[in-house]
Amino acid sequence: MTVRSVGSVDGPELCLEYPDDLAEDERDELLQRMTQMFSLERNLQDFYETVSVSKEWAGLIQRLYGVRPIQDADLFESMVRTIIGQQLNLSFAATLMERLVQLGDERVVWKQQTLPVFPSAKTVAEWTYPRLRELAFSQRKAEYVIDFARHVASGAIDLEKLRDLPDEDVYEVLMPLRGVGRWTVECFLLFGMGRTDILPAADIGIQNAVQRLYHMADRPKEADIRQIASVWAPWRSYATYYLWQSLLRDEN
């Protein structure tokens, strides 16, 4: 499908172009997923009013006004992306993701273009660790990615059923898996499921962004972040996204 923005910052609208032969229930699901993926069901003004109790947010809101978190299109891809990104810089993590897609060698044709598709859990589950090692994955990273794919492919983990669970239950299901820690699940809840009140307070990027935003002499610790962020509820995911964006945009 093709997605175009036809609205405004204050009134976002998307124009979707998809195959004519989609069944009605497929179209309904598609509309629902796109609404969630682009966070169109959320009122940003509620978020702005919540964080504006801290005067330090005024400048950041002005810079990023209208920016909405975009969710990953697929839960399996979201978790693999997060596992790959653990303790890596963004550039190298993106390179590994690209190599993973190339290895999967799955394609879809849309408007006379052949587009790469993220490999399925079944495809990744059939790979060996040395195969990913050849692509510059570390041994542990290769194990974490492939083992997670095998859990999903075997049905031991049903990612779609996780959508109906509260946050803490998602932690209980995923954190026992090798290579999946609290930060991993937090990012999965934020970017995969679109939960609105997630705070990865142990994230170094968040700590650096808060230090800069609040003009702090030292980088705050996890406990400090949680205390500062208590007034951001129930929009801590959005605050997290804006803080990350503040670092990315400063780098650019």
Q: Report the catalytic residues.
A: 203
Q: What is the 3-state secondary structure (H, E, C) of 118-174?
A: CCCHHHHHCCCHHHHHCCCCCHHHHHHHHHHHHHHHHCCCCHHHHCCCCHHHHHHHH
DSSP summary character for residue 231: G
Helix (H) or strand (E) holding 104: helix 90-104
Q: Which two tokens stand for residue 26?
A: 């497929």
Q: Are 51 and 196 in contact (CB under 8 A)?
A: no
Residue type, 80: V
Length of the chain as a residue count: 252
Let me know the angle formed at the C-alpha of 201 by 233 and 176, rounded to the nearest 5 degrees.
105
